[in-house]
Amino acid sequence: MITPTAWPAEAVWEQVFPLLPDFTVEVLPETDSSNSELMRRARAGQHEATLLVAERQTAGRGRMGRVWQSQPGDSLTFSLSVSLQPQDWSGLSLAVGLSLAESLHPDVGLKWPNDLWFQDRKLGGILVEAASMGGRSQVVVGVGLNIRPRPAQGLNTAPAALSELLPGLSASAALLRVALPLVQTLLAFERDGFGALQSRFESRDVLKGRPVHTSDGQEGLALGVSPVGALRLQTDTGVQDIHSAEVSVRPFAAQETSR
């Protein structure tokens, strides 16, 4: 028998309410996607700041249409909806990843543009979406973190889990660690943009200095990120700035880098 999770909804609310007076916390036993649910609300004109935890997702979405499904206790899946009006949106997903990594553990790395890594394995992912209604921009930040180990799928390496870094950490405890810093980071991003966070991101950048290839066929050496969050790629034709909406990036396999 699975013991129901005791979510720290009130504790999270008490931390965040001074920063977002219209803030609410909700926990759903099951939904198709926490991001989809909050995007539906945003398009319907609901602009209250909301953190929505989904204990189980039946159609969770990752970047570029990838599916992220979750089961109670195995992962932490939540979305945060807030109204933001930054001067420049560039680098928002990088700022979110940095906030999560810094809240969780010094050994959590960041794979541009929106994955958390540990020992070259995916630990978590981020999906950022926005809706504009009546001159207001509502941002929905979706987060998925592996809490318990998951089996490998096919020939892929098994993903990383937070229990490897923080034994005994539950999904509810992880939520309490990351929620307030995430809100603080979003508000700081609205004020200062990504440039103020660039050096901190690069200190956790798992791609910097490694040969990579992009989904649109470019190859080169990752040089880090620009002040607006673009991946700087040294190619045969010079340095290219790659933006998150255009490509996904993966390190070459060992046999590819030895040629």
- pLDDT tens for the 259 residues of the chain, in order: 345 678 999 999 999 999 999 999 999 999 999 999 999 999 998 899 999 999 988 866 554 445 455 566 789 999 999 999 999 999 999 999 999 999 999 999 999 998 999 999 999 999 999 988 767 799 999 999 999 988 776 657 889 999 999 999 999 999 999 999 999 999 999 999 999 999 999 999 999 999 998 888 888 999 999 999 999 999 999 999 998 655 667 666 543 433 2
Q: What is the pLDDT of residue 157?
A: 82
CATH 2.30.30.100 domain range(s) in the chain: 211-257
pLDDT of residue 2: 45
Q: What CATH number should be reported for the domain whose range is 9-201?
A: 3.30.930.10
Q: Where in the chain is the domain with CATH 3.30.930.10?
A: 9-201
**CATH classification (class only), 211-257:** mainly beta
Phi, psi of 253 (to 5 degrees): -65, 160
